Amino acid sequence: MIITRPREWERVRAQLADLGATRVFITGCGQCATVANTGGETEVLEAKERLESEGLVVTGWSVGEVACHSGGERLEVRKHAGEIESADAVLVLACGAGVQTMADATSKPVTPGLESVFLGNVVRHGVFEERCQMCGDCVLDRTAGICPVTTCPKGLLNGPCGGMWNGMCEVVTDRECTHVLIRRRLAEQGRAAKAEPLPPKDYSKKLKPGRVDIRAAHRASKSGDAS
């Protein structure tokens, strides 16, 4: 899931002031931002109360199923058409993808209320860890399922670095070195002897902006089958 954290309230207020917004519609996200406790119903209502206590008018609010789904956000906009129409701006408590989806769905100025920080694993309720940076060229097959790109603070593919001490990371000092963990797990799985240094990474495989069209790929494969 996408991990978000609240943007400083003063900054959010400044954004609204820049837009000359005194009437605001607030929207959140029923998926990631709800799980992260940053943009679910509770947080949307907190933002509503806060804006109202500061003299702004909240024309309405919504928490759709998932803020980064174009069709879903268009539906939310249709459901709340009058409330959004009477607002000067839409405050979005969702990740950057959700903010942009809402910006595409309405002609009203849209402004973010959260910071998008990483793609996170849910370790337990309320605890999230970054395990993958979506590099487009996964090495987990060679590293016993532990990502050095993300979990080594230096992003070293091969290690440990010279700073490792007693198996611990020199940067995040309360954590074991990623490369110690990788070597240990490879050894436990009887794969250590065959492990070789990883070659330099081809970062050109990290497509920006990313786009995958599953339907086009499916059509292409079907036409290939037919020929």
- When the beta carbons of 90 and 146 are compared against ligand SF4, the nearer one is 146
149 binds ligand SF4 (CB under 6 A): yes
Cα three-residue angle 67-112-124, rounded to 5 degrees = 60
Binders of ligand SF4: how many residues, by CB under 6 A?
25
**Single-letter code of the amino acid located at 182:** I
Non-local (6+) Cβ contacts of 66 within 8 A are: 29, 30, 31, 72, 98
Paired tokens of 220: 């292409």
Q: Which stretch binds ligand SF4 (CB under 6 A): 74-82, 91-99, 154-162, 213-221?
A: 154-162
Least Å from the CB of residue 165 to ligand SF4: 8
103 binds ligand SF4 (CB under 6 A): no
163 binds ligand SF4 (CB under 6 A): yes
Q: Which residue in 2, 58, 91, 152 binds ligand SF4 (CB under 6 A)?
A: 152
154 binds ligand SF4 (CB under 6 A): yes
Q: How far apart are CA 206 and CA 208, in angstroms?
A: 6
- When the beta carbons of 1 and 135 are compared against ligand SF4, the nearer one is 135
| Residue 4 phi, psi dihedral angles, 5° rounding | -125, 160
Paired with 110 in beta bridges are 90
Q: How far apart are CA 113 and CA 128, in angstroms?
A: 20
Binding site for ligand SF4 (CB under 6 A): 132-135, 138-140, 147, 149-150, 152-154, 156, 159-161, 163-164, 169-171, 177-179
